[in-house]
Chains A and B, each alone.
Chain A
Amino acid sequence: MTESPRPGAGADVGAGQGAGEVSAAVADAHRREWAFVLAATARVAGDLDLAEECVQDAYAAALTAWTRQGVPNSPGAWLTTAARRRAIDAKRRDRVLRAKLPLLIEPLPPVAASAPPGAGEAEEDEVIPDDRLRLIFTCCHPALAREAQVALTLRLVCGLTTVEIAQAFLVAEPTMAARVTRAKKKISAARIAYRVPAPAELPDRLDAVLTVVHLLYTTGHTAPGGDNLVRADLVDRAIGLARMLRTLMPDEREVAGLLALILLTDARRATRADPQGRLLLLEDQDRSLWDRSVIAEGAALVPWALRGGRPGRFALQAAIAALHAEAPSYAQTDWPQIVALYDALLRVWSSPVVALNRAVAVAMAQGPAAGLAQLGELEAGGRLDAYRYLPAAKADLLRRLGRWEAAARAYRDALALTDNAAEREFLARRLTEVTGPLQRAE
């Protein structure tokens, strides 16, 4: 006898959730939980490639399973369990193949046996460790080139595809794929350990991680080429990473400094270009449109990041950004205080770019001629020869001094070094402004 369908069997679909709702939940879990799931799976898989494969499979499986059973209360835990089970199976299947290039994992500290007696399989009940810090420190290991650190972080910590990373950095996809593969191979072959560095090496290693996150932010903030000034996806990823680090390392002052710096800079995002997409300088931005809640969040982190011992470079930059963000106008900014902060910054981070920014602040505090003198020293130093903001800053000070001809020359120099369309447009506009008086004089 064949079983006849029960009345209302169609309502079983109701036990699950609509397809749109489920795919949104999976996408959300991808954005929020990828790093957690991959980091915890890497420990079981012992190999980054296998871990990635298993995590991707788990996300694909979630789409079907969650449609049938509903979205679990803790999507991250569900995905991790699924991915780890796949990893264990795969390792059982081809132990020999995977044993060749193992990921180096430190033994776990013994955990007090807390599982209730008679509980199911250990793998089900195991407390999933938060290995995201291990993952990001491995991706940003100093033995990897900076560009490889950036690519690996986006791929493994943020879950971006190689295509997406290639697009973000305007690199051909095969180039980016080769970069990622080479980096992963080095992690295995050279035995870069999957661990958080020991306290003695932590400051240097953390600085590499923060530098990568900051680089992602600045790349998104002013895209190296192309038509849009800001690449919002990269900016959001960088903010997400900075927030993640802040949660995972609440005692690190420079982590707080980086998050503060990014928030305080990003609060001005909407005003950095006019509706036509043209670049607006800090002094021309509509301060009433700055995101006050983001500024408040960033500014609240600054005193904490500065206190106790010599502040780090991110804390000092955040302090400078906070003075800008909280000033009622460009002219009413506390420029002497900003110059003092740049002095402190130069002591911990002797960079010609910092010296350039200091010169701009000096021009505001003491007048354009004083700033120009500082820029002259930098120019003579020769370390900023290809840096587009040096001639741009010089042009601006010359313009303020009414030295039109020299200003026009500097704007042309800056244009020759600039690829970003919005920045080019800005410089070209200024060039027209300063050549105007010249033509009238002729």
Chain B
Amino acid sequence: MAEYMILICEDESAYATATPDVLRQVMEAHNRFSEQVAETGGKIIEGRALQPTSTATSIRGDVVTDGPFIETKEAIGGYYLVEARDLDHALQIGKLCPARFGGVEVRPIMVFG
């Protein structure tokens, strides 16, 4: 098994304007996702949602600035660290990951030594 990071990239404004009903659906989708991952034989090691980029602070050198490192319409809003057999399995998990206002990026975790 290997570890992959699933980065959830979505349009933040869609969440800002979403109705409570939509937000509830998103939560349900994420809860279902954990079960689905287990069904594929994979495992979620950790998963977190991030506060929006309006709360981000960037540091380059020693200059501290308000806002994210790069301003984009779609930003990373959360992640899952998962365990999968190989890339195909990780992509299968990535396809199940809820991201209705964008998509996900699957990145292998680097192994040292």
Contacts and interface: CB of A to CB of B under 8 A. Distances in A.
A192 B106 CA distance: 13
Contacts of A104: 86
B110 interface: yes
Interface in A181-195: 189-193
Given A104-B86, A190-B87, A191-B108, 15 more contacts: A143-B87, A143-B91, A190-B108, A191-B2, A191-B86, A191-B87, A191-B90, A192-B86, A192-B87, A192-B88, A193-B85, A193-B86, A193-B87, A197-B88, A201-B88
Interface of B: 2, 85-88, 90-91, 108, 110-111
Interface of A: 100, 104, 141, 143, 189-193, 197, 201
A143 B90 CA distance: 11
A192 B108 CA distance: 11
Contacts of A201: 88
A221 B53 CA distance: 50
B108 to A, nearest CB: 5
A193 B88 contact: yes
Contacts of A193: 85-88
18 contacts: A100-B111, A141-B87, A143-B87, A143-B91, A189-B108, A190-B87, A190-B90, A190-B108, A191-B2, A191-B86, A191-B90, A192-B87, A192-B88, A193-B86, A193-B87, A193-B88, A197-B88, A201-B88
A197 B87 CA distance: 12
A191 B85 CA distance: 8
A141 B85 CA distance: 16
A104 B85 CA distance: 9
Contacts of B2: 191
A189 B91 CA distance: 14
A29 B86 CA distance: 34
Contacts of B108: 189-191
Among B85, B86, B87: residue with most chain A CB under 10 A: B87
B58 to A, nearest CB: 28
Contacts of B111: 100
A192 B2 CA distance: 11
Contacts of B110: 189
B13 to A, nearest CB: 28
A109 B2 CA distance: 23
